Structure 1
């Protein structure tokens, strides 16, 4: 009976020790960051009633859905070797979407065994084509390492 309790104790202790926190998958936000876009009206950051954004990620177009009463949005960028991501913006269902091409260079950084590699984006700039309700685009911070700083401003 003594040996049985000892074996149970050793098994319990080894199972607790083997559970490591280092291999948890990107729990604290160290994955590839999204681009933060602030929304402006009359050159002031303001809340838009509605906005719909699509992101062309190469293999598919991601519909981020309608966002209601927001002053900023987060948009994922491509993680392949492409030097740009196209995003499409609408403020009403009746208007055609406006294409904004986001150009950048990528840099891969190793994070951890569980999370793997994340992409950082440098030299971020944008080109607006066929403006509708989106009148212009202003540059913010020109690199993306995390989601704290605003990278683009959309002027409506």
Structure 2
């Protein structure tokens, strides 16, 4: 009886100890990185008074920001469907309808296995950007030609 009591007391602690491991299905590494964008005006960093940003996906506009005030930077997700580009709509003067700039960001996608919990994430190389419809955004500066994390500013949009 004494041994049975010891087994039932120690067994739950042993199970708890071996059940917790580093191979849990919790994703701590993160998924596909987003593109960090900052703004400039006359060559200096600029805080936009009000800003809306959308992504064109399957002939629909997905809003990233919708009329957000005092924006100095934004993280924009890129499409991961293998097309190799993302079309971005930028509008800062919200009082004028259809006054948006359209920017196409081109890249090569690369898949990277992270873990069982995270699965696969996309990395972007050979990044370039062009303005397809210049309105408010006058020019683009590409600061980095790859996106492997979200730390570095990739694009500067010049107003």
Q: When the two structures are superposed, what TM-score results if normalisation uses the length of structure 1?
A: 0.88
Matched with 2:74 is 73
Matched, 1:125 2:95: no
1:88-110 per-position Cα deviation (integer Å, ceiling 9, x unaligned): 11113224222111101011111
The structure having more radius of gyration, on CA atoms, is: 2
Secondary structure at the aligned position of 1:16 is classed as: helix
Residue 23 of structure 2 corresponds to which residue in structure 1?
22
Q: Name the counterpart of 2:88.
A: 87
Select between 70-79 and 13-22 the one with higher mean Cα deviation. Answer: 13-22
In the TM superposition, residue 57 of structure 1 has moved relative to its aligned partner by 3.9
Is the CA contact (8 Å cut-off) linking 2:108 and 2:126 kept in structure 1?
yes
| Equivalent residue number for residue 9 of structure 1 | 10
Corresponding position of 1:51: 51
The alignment status of 1:101 with 2:79, answered yes or no, reads no
User: C-alpha offsets along residues 66-122 of structure 1, whole Å, 9 cap, x if unaligned?
Assistant: 332121110000111111111111113224222111101011111111111111101
Stretch moving more, 3-12 or 42-51: 3-12
> 2: distance between equivalents of 1:51 and 1:152?
16
Distance 1:20-1:132 versus aligned 2 partners, 3 A rule: same
Deviation of the 1:60 alpha carbon:
5.4
List alignment gaps of at least 5 residues for structure 1. Answer: none
Runs of 5+ in structure 2 lacking a partner?
none
* CA drift at 1:5: 4.6
Describe the SS at the equivalent of 1:151: strand
What SS does structure 2 have at the residue aligned with 1:110? strand
**TM (normalized to structure 2)?**
0.87
Cα distance in 1 for residues equivalent to 2:152 and 2:117: 26
